[in-house]
Structure 1
């Protein structure tokens, strides 16, 4: 069976590029929602798909304040940084290796 490859959606591309701007920094989903003007219902499924494909690392914030629930933090993996670099360099080019749809 052949896996159909396609270019990431504009929203997914914006998430990848936002994370690539500070590739070693852990980022909160809420912060990304504000920066990219995306609703949580759009952003969090993108983050889950990217993590499932090995393009994103996710971890729990261990430094929570009293009264604040733990939050997830996100940053790109090496594969995610490579894809973001390809997308930034050639926004209209075809598929990059390893991307399996949005």
Structure 2
């Protein structure tokens, strides 16, 4: 799991029931929107997030509608395990060394 993906998941896990939008997540995680939005799409694709479009009049609000994301039940269960696995020290590969004098 990439570090940016870990940062996005940590932003959601901090307040698991809160809906978040892309630039809000990016600001908290310290990531640009071009990094955050593909991660959100992947996490939604695997069922860890669900999204909805904000119901506003963009002209009245003076901005485009936001797409809000929140953790699904599956994401709330799976994300902490995946983050723990990502932080676990990796064991080096067990590669036998050649006997001395052999190439």
TM bracket (short chain): 0.7 to 0.9
Question: How much is the aligned-residue C-alpha RMSD, in angstroms?
Answer: 2.0
Q: Which has more radius of gyration?
A: 2
CA deviations on 1:14-50 (whole Å, 9 max, x unpaired) are 1111101111110111111111110111110000000
1:86 to 61, 81, 92: 81
TM-score by length of 2: 0.74
Q: Could you list the runs of 5+ residues in structure 1 that have no partner in the other structure?
A: 1-7, 95-102
Inter-partner Cα distance in structure 1 for 2:4 and 2:74: 18
- Matched residues, number: 87
Q: Could you list the runs of 5+ residues in structure 2 that have no partner in the other structure?
A: 91-103
The runs of at least 4 aligned residues of structure 1 exceeding 6 Å deviation read: none
Of Structure 1 and Structure 2, which has the larger fraction of its residues in helix? 2
Structure with higher RCO (Cα < 8 A, 6+ apart): 1
TM-score by length of 1: 0.74
